[in-house]
């Protein structure tokens, strides 16, 4: 049985009144829900966090507690947070340093729960204060949903800032034909009373508490396109909220087994909800190992009005799948996903005829329409409890207490049929010779394949002069289902199954740049090749597809080695140029496995730079300014910093200046490498001749304040800058100024600056 949530079109007649058309779904399994396009947020406030404990430095343990303070709607919430490492513990390298997931509670409110995610320093999440749910979204995500008067009040906000709003202050189709806003709030408060009494009377501890279900999330190409280059971070942020709802109410935690970002949708093409759900189930059963649940996060506009669909009571089965229109929907996408997971867990729709929960009021999470609630009803929890009592795929969230419940032995009885081999003694005499030949052939094939793969990786080619060190690589394009191995000499890397990698070091590519390397491919992949890119999103005009079945990428140069190493040369500079581009290795196979790519002895050169032979571009410049002897500047010193030689890392609210002074002439050029991990007010660099900050001296490279010179902007990764500073100001006695400014909010912002050089 399938359940889905659909949208109903609606118009806002006045700022204080709602005129809504509600369609009923009669006996159809499809029911009504609000669309994001029709959703209106009546009230919202700028969001900020103040850290009330000591400054958290880069070196702090991941499990350290954080004390923060949040003010919203006249209330001050003191919150204790810890990293939600359990949610992503299976993801290994997929969690980038730009993603921080937190869970916690409001101090003094036992029934509260908090989930906050920071992706590139931008906060999203949810806070349940014991009475109602507060949502935190990036301003850019909800800007078009704000009521005109609210949008006007926030017109000075940066798209990178966040807003906080009450879920009860959102208008959707829970309102009837024409209803005053005040009555919406009153009815919501009555819902809250029902929630409190129902939850208080329901013993959640009687269910399988301290249990975990593992889930695979698949993101289609439309969702990937909506995630601003960080698919993994967006998925984790939304699942952090889902995990909060289920952990606190159902007693079952979520663990993300894998995030698969598709570069091609393959068979997942339909916009009909039922068809897409069936396509996804077939895809999962053919290509993935479903650990308990699998869910498709899509950016498609399903059916024009449907936002989710899932199979009922299907956890731990081949039908344990669902689909949520989550792309570009922030926290509301998370609530929709929680609704669909609720169906998988066995919860039918509340307040719907012929449902097991038909008599339940329509004020809970499993209402057919999105209604301003994150709470399961008493009836939903009972249905979920029945399903979970039969769920065999749940694992222990905490290894120690769980052995007691004996859910593990439950599978053991299943092997009881296996003891039927008791009759084996009878056939033992006859079968004895039979098994003997059986094992004999088995070993025979085993040794045959084993030697073949073994020599393949073992003879990793010896390093050639100037070969790149491939030890330092990171995930690329969100595709990380496979595995990789770097040879001991560091000059060779092998990718297996569906996986892309990019070097952590960036290289400058000019029109003369070329690469030479050894390449080997085996198996049937879709995109197998190399390239360069300045960000982490797969770009068709950056990757050379040397072999593979998919018509994607630059295919002018082809691999013909038939499983053996082939020496290849690509004149990259004839295709594109750029600064600080990472080297990419692609081994894409969304719908299969067993394919491998090995790349060895990659040498980057610019043969025609000066006519004297190949010249690999140097990743690190020489003659840089030493940053170990820096002093406070501009009286802003509440943050922290770490420096070593030509590198410095600034954390929190902090400015630093060199003791050394410099002369800037009209021809002076400033060069350096820069990265920002977190969003502050000003991340930048400049010079000044006194002890006060001057806006006409500081280059604001990243940050949501309009302060400073903003002609040069940071776009992500480690970016190399070249600024003709003498065209902006000249003089003597200038000190170098390094800026990581954040006067308000939680001091999680960081700035990394290295290899600073001045030349004339």
Q: State yes or no: pLDDT of 617 exceeds 80.
A: no
Q: Which of 358, 346, 355 has the alpha carbon at shortest distance from 319?
A: 346
The tokens for 658 are 């060199």
Tell me how far apart the alpha carbons of residues 38 and 305 are, in angstroms, rounded to a whole number. 11
For residue 494, the surrounding DSSP H or E stretch is: strand 492-496
Number of residues written out for the chain:
760
Q: Please compute the mean of the pLDDT values over residues 136-151 and round it to a whole number.
A: 85
Radius of gyration of the chain (CA): 29
Half-sphere exposure of 115 (CA within 13 A, CB side): 24
What pLDDT was estimated at residue 380? 63
Confidence band, pLDDT 50/70/90 cuts, at residue 589: confident
Q: Which residues pair with 325 in a beta bridge?
A: 298
Q: Which of 200, 492, 221 has the alpha carbon at shortest distance from 375?
A: 200
Confidence band, pLDDT 50/70/90 cuts, at residue 21: very low
What pLDDT was estimated at residue 600? 95
Task: Give the helix ranges, DSSP H, for 320-429.
Answer: 330-344, 378-388
What pLDDT was estimated at residue 111? 79
**Helix 330-344 to helix 231-249 angle, to the nearest 10 degrees?**
50
What pLDDT was estimated at residue 721? 92
What pLDDT was estimated at residue 199? 35
Q: At which residue do the structure tokens 């070329």 appear?
A: 514
The tokens for 13 are 């007649």
The tokens for 266 are 């393959």
The pLDDT tens digits for 498-557 are 899 988 888 888 888 999 999 999 887 889 999 999 877 778 899 999 998 888 999 888
Reduce the DSSP state of residue 579 to 3 states and report it: strand
Tell me how far apart the alpha carbons of residues 140 and 553 are, in angstroms, rounded to a whole number. 31
What pLDDT was estimated at residue 760? 79
* Global pTM value: 0.46
Percent of the chain with pLDDT over 70: 68
Tell me how far apart the alpha carbons of residues 178 and 158 are, in angstroms, rounded to a whole number. 35
What pLDDT was estimated at residue 58? 33
Chain center to CA of 623: 38
Chain center to CA of 679: 17
Q: Which residues pair with 10 in a beta bridge?
A: 20
Q: Please compute the mean of the pLDDT values over residues 556-563 and round it to a whole number.
A: 82
Q: Please compute the mean of the pLDDT values over residues 141-162 and round it to a whole number.
A: 82
Q: Which of 95, 91, 96, 101 has the alpha carbon at shortest distance from 66?
A: 101
| Of 12-21, 198-207, 618-627, highest mean pLDDT | 618-627
Pick the more confident residue, 480 or 479.
Answer: 480
The tokens for 746 are 């939680």
What value, to the nearest 5°, has the Cα angle with vertex 45 and ends 44 and 47? Answer: 125
Tell me how far apart the alpha carbons of residues 751 and 583 are, in angstroms, rounded to a whole number. 24
Pick the more confident residue, 60 or 111.
Answer: 111
Q: Which domains does the chain have, with CATH numbers?
A: 2-396 (3.40.390.10), 473-605 (2.60.120.260), 630-759 (2.60.120.260)
Q: State yes or no: pLDDT of 183 exceeds 90.
A: no
The pLDDT tens digits for 591-612 are 777 789 999 999 998 765 455 5
The tokens for 527 are 């995109």
Give a three-class secondary structure readout of 428-441. Answer: CCCCCCCCCCCCCC
What pLDDT was estimated at residue 551? 87
Confidence band, pLDDT 50/70/90 cuts, at residue 344: confident
What pLDDT was estimated at residue 656? 92
Tell me how far apart the alpha carbons of residues 67 and 51 are, in angstroms, rounded to a whole number. 6
What's the CA dihedral at 329, 332, 338, 339 to 10 degrees? Answer: -110
The pLDDT tens digits for 654-688 are 999 998 899 999 999 999 999 886 567 889 999 99
What pLDDT was estimated at residue 325? 84
When the pLDDT of each residue in the chain is averaged and rounded to a whole number, the result is 73
The pLDDT tens digits for 300-324 are 887 766 778 888 777 888 888 999 8
Tell me how far apart the alpha carbons of residues 479 and 488 are, in angstroms, rounded to a whole number. 25
Q: State yes or no: pLDDT of 748 exceeds 60.
A: yes
Half-sphere exposure of 270 (CA within 13 A, CB side): 12
What pLDDT was estimated at residue 746? 52
What's the CA dihedral at 544, 546, 550, 553 to 10 degrees? Answer: 10
Other C-beta atoms within 10 Å of 240: how many? 25
> Sign of dihedral through CA atoms 730, 662, 713, 672?
positive
The tokens for 346 are 């066995």
**Helix 378-388 to helix 181-201 angle, to the nearest 10 degrees?**
40
The tokens for 536 are 């982490």
Q: State yes or no: pLDDT of 271 exceeds 80.
A: yes
Confidence band, pLDDT 50/70/90 cuts, at residue 400: very low
Q: State yes or no: pLDDT of 708 exceeds 50.
A: yes
> Which residues contact residue 482 at a Cβ distance below 8 angstroms, ignoring those fewer than 6 apart?
495, 496, 497, 498, 499, 587, 589, 593
Strands 162-166, 30-31: parallel, antiparallel or unpaired by DSSP? unpaired
Q: State yes or no: pLDDT of 295 exceeds 90.
A: yes
Half-sphere exposure of 618 (CA within 13 A, CB side): 5
Q: State yes or no: pLDDT of 152 exceeds 90.
A: no
Other C-beta atoms within 10 Å of 38: how many? 18
The tokens for 434 are 């039979």
Q: Please compute the mean of the pLDDT values over residues 142-146 and round it to a whole number.
A: 84
> Sign of dihedral through CA atoms 411, 414, 420, 424?
negative
The pLDDT tens digits for 415-457 are 333 333 333 333 433 343 444 344 434 333 333 333 333 333 4
- In contact, 660 and 744? CB cutoff 8 Å: no
Q: Which of 288, 297, 293, 289 has the alpha carbon at shortest distance from 221?
A: 297
Q: Which residues pair with 664 in a beta bridge?
A: 731
Q: Which of 671, 679, 757 has the alpha carbon at shortest distance from 722?
A: 671
Distances, alpha carbon 670 to alpha carbons 215, 618, 645, 720, 758, in Å: 49, 18, 18, 11, 5
Phi/psi region, residue 282 (left: phi>0; alpha: psi -120 to 50; beta: rest), is alpha
Q: DSSP letters of 273-294?
A: HHHHHHHHHHHHHHH---SSEE
Q: Which of 81, 78, 77 has the alpha carbon at shortest distance from 60?
A: 81
Q: State yes or no: pLDDT of 263 exceeds 80.
A: yes
Q: At which residue do the structure tokens 């409190």 appear?
A: 196
Chain center to CA of 710: 29
Phi/psi for 194 (5° steps) reads -60, -45
What pLDDT was estimated at residue 14? 23
> Sign of dihedral through CA atoms 453, 459, 464, 468?
positive
Strands 293-298, 321-325: parallel, antiparallel or unpaired by DSSP? parallel
What's the CA dihedral at 301, 304, 308, 311 to 10 degrees? Answer: -110
């Amino acid at each position: 049985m399938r359940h889905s949530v659909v949208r109903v079109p609606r118009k806002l007649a006045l700022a204080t009144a709602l005129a809504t058309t509600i369609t009923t779904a009669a006996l159809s399994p499809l029911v009504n829900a609000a669309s994001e396009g029709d959703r209106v947020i009546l009230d919202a406030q700028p969001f900020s966090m103040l850290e009330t404990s000591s400054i958290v430095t880069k070196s702090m343990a991941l499990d350290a507690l954080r004390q923060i303070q949040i003010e919203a709607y006249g209330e001050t919430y003191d919150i204790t947070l810890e990293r939600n490492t359990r949610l992503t513990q299976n993801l290994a390298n997929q969690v980038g340093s730009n993603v921080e997931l937190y869970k916690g509670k409001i101090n003094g409110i036992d029934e509260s729960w908090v989930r906050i995610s920071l992706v590139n320093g931008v906060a999203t999440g949810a806070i349940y204060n014991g009475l109602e749910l507060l949502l935190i979204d990036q301003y850019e995500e909800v800007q078009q949903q704000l009521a005109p008067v609210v949008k006007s009040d926030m017109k000075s906000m940066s798209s990178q800032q966040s807003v906080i709003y009450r879920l009860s202050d959102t208008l959707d189709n829970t309102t009837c034909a024409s209803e005053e806003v005040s009555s919406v709030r009153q009815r919501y408060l009555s819902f809250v009373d029902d929630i409190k009494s129902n939850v208080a009377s329901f013993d959640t501890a009687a269910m399988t508490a301290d249990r975990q279900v593992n889930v695979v999330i698949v993101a289609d190409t439309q969702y990937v396109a909506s995630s601003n280059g960080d698919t993994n971070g967006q998925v984790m942020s939304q699942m952090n909220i889902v995990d909060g709802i289920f952990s606190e109410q159902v007693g079952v935690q979520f663990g993300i087994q894998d995030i698969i970002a598709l570069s091609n949708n393959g068979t997942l093409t339909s916009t009909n909800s039922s068809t897409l759900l069936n396509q996804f189930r077939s895809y999962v059963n053919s290509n993935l190992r479903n650990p308990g649940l699998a869910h498709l996060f899509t950016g498609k506009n399903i059916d024009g009005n449907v936002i989710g669909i899932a199979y009922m009571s299907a956890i731990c089965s081949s039908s344990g799948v669902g689909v949520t229109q989550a792309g570009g929907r922030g926290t509301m996408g998370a609530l929709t996903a929680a609704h669909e997971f609720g169906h998988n867990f066995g919860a039918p729709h509340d307040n719907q005829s012929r449902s097991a929960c038909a008599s339940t009021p329509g004020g809970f999470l499993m209402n057919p329409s999105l209604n301003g609630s994150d709470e399961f009803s008493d009836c939903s929890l009972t249905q979920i409890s029945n399903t979970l009592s039969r769920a065999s795929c749940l694992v222990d969230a905490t290894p120690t207490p769980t052995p007691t419940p004996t859910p593990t032995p439950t599978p053991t009885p299943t092997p009881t049929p296996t003891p039927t081999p008791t009759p084996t003694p009878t056939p033992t005499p006859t079968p004895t010779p039979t098994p003997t030949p059986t094992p004999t052939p088995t070993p025979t094939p085993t040794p045959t394949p084993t030697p073949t793969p073994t020599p393949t990786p073992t003879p990793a080619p010896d390093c050639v002069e100037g070969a790149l060190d491939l030890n330092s690589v990171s995930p690329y394009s969100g595709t990380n289902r496979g595995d990789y191995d770097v040879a001991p000499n560091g000059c060779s890397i092998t990718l297996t199954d569906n996986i892309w990698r990019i070097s952590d070091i960036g290289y400058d590519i000019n029109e003369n740049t070329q690469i030479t390397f050894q390449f080997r491919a085996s198996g049937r992949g879709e995109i197998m090749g190399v390239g360069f890119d300045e960000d982490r999103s797969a770009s068709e005009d950056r990757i050379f597809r040397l072999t593979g079945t998919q018509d994607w990428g630059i295919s002018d140069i082809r691999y013909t080695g038939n499983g053996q190493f082939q020496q290849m040369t690509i004149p990259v500079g004839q295709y594109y140029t750029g600064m600080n581009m990472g080297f990419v290795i692609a081994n894409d196979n969304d719908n299969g496995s067993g394919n491998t790519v090995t790349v060895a002895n990659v040498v980057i050169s610019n043969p025609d730079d000066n006519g004297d032979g190949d010249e690999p571009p140097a990743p690190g410049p020489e003659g840089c300014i030493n940053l170990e002897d820096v002093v406070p500047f501009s009286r802003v010193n509440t943050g922290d910093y770490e420096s070593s030689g030509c590198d410095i890392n600034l954390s929190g609210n902090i400015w630093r200046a060199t003791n050394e002074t410099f002369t800037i002439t009209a021809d002076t050029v400033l060069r350096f490498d820069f990265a920002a991990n977190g969003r502050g007010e000003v991340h930048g660099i400049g010079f000044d001749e006194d002890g006060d900050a001057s806006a006409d001296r500081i280059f604001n490279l990243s940050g949501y304040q309009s302060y400073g010179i903003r002609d040069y902007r940071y776009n992500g990764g480690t970016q190399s800058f070249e600024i003709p500073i003498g065209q902006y100001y000249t003089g003597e006695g200038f000190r170098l100024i390094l800026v990581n400014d954040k006067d308000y909010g939680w001091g999680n912002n960081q700035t990394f600056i290295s290899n600073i050089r001045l030349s004339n």
